[in-house]
Structure 1
């Protein structure tokens, strides 16, 4: 995963991967049909929890607070991680030639979106989150905006975009 996070999908060869793992190329192909199959597997594992999303599902915490804590935890993680987000990197590289990766990315984004949407819907019921927009639409906007902020942090070599995201989202977008 480290090589893909540092270099992206297209920046890694099977040779690079096997050298980093200190395994023969033949061993790689015994476990994975292709580099794309490995990348899809990594996306699946990454989506299970590069950061803790359990806060989004905690009914004992008000929904708006859960969302704030979730994005604060993400900001903490990505402020320390100079290589950005593996999902975002792969999204920038996905093409018609990598359908397996595209499917896994969609799956990860859908699960994350469902979790955020559920918290937003609860917040709407609690009266702390605006109701003029659908929870699913707000969730999609948050994810798309956040992934864009992560990309910008890579360009600027600064977490400013992540801080702006939180400031704007929680002062005017969802409240």
Structure 2
């Protein structure tokens, strides 16, 4: 198996460092040390630590498995719940110590970097658009309760998720996730077959 490129080693090491300690607490030297590459090689691949952070966020977004929201084999409410459950399981895998990288970077860097802030805003906005599409399907099939408007509800769910992820990082347990899912489930007509969603 070929050895990963220096660029890949830097991205992988930075992702771990940023998720464990944040952006400001990690320097280029620590990232290159974690990657096992010479410090001088960093600037052959990235113009700045901020540029590296943008690449880490791009890959993090891909790992969020947004395509789950387009899986037509599941009913809309079940599909949306499965998506959030996947994200919750990922938080639990790290004992809730990491939170969401978008939320972490948004909180830490929104006053320091317009480029990072813009990327976080765009990523969360696109996520809300995808969630709204599923909510429109749920409204059309009669499983979304009441006359809820999918667009603001999608924004609310994304914001509530980010808040729950932050709170779980603080409490280091799944109670905020439980609260999120209790609210989520109250938005939908229970499935007749007893399945989640």
TM-score by length of 1: 0.91
Across the two proteins, how many residue pairs are aligned to each other?
A: 173
Q: Distance in 2 between matches of 1:153 and 1:6?
A: 15
Counterparts of 1:2 and 1:144 in 2: how far apart (Å)? 24
Q: Deviations over 1:80-103 (max 9, x none)?
A: 123222111101112343122112
Q: Give the alignment partner of residue 160 of structure 2, picking from 142, 145, 149.
A: 145
Distance between the aligned counterparts of 2:90 and 2:39, measured in 1? 33
**Residue aligning to 1:116:** 131
Which blocks of at least 5 consecutive residues in structure 1 are unaligned?
A: none
> 1:38 is matched with which residue?
52
In structure 2, the partner of 1:104 is: 119
Cα shift at 1:174:
5.5
> Which residue of 25, 49, 54 corresponds with 1:11?
25
3-state SS in 1 of match to 2:181: helix
- Say whether residues 1:59 and 2:72 are aligned partners: yes
Measure the CA separation in 2 of the matches of 1:129 and 1:47.
27
The aligned residue for residue 78 of structure 1 is: 91
5+ unaligned residues in a row in structure 2: which ranges? 1-14, 190-197
Deviations 1:94-131 (A, max 9, x none): 23431221122122212211211100011111111135
TM-score (normalised: structure 2): 0.82
Match of 1:158 in 2: 173
**Alignment partners' CA distance in 2, 1:149 and 1:14:** 31
Cα RMSD, aligned residues only? 1.6
- Asked which structure has the greater RCO (Cα within 8 Å, sep 6+), the reply is 1
By how many angstroms is 1:132 displaced? 2.7
Q: Which residue of 1 aligns with 2:4?
A: none
Contact 2:18 2:26 in 1 (8 A): yes
CA drift of 1:147 comes to: 0.8
| 1:169 equivalent in alignment to 2:169 | no
CA contact (8 A) 2:164 2:176 kept: yes
Residues 140-149 or 16-25, more deviating: 16-25
Matched, 1:126 2:152: no
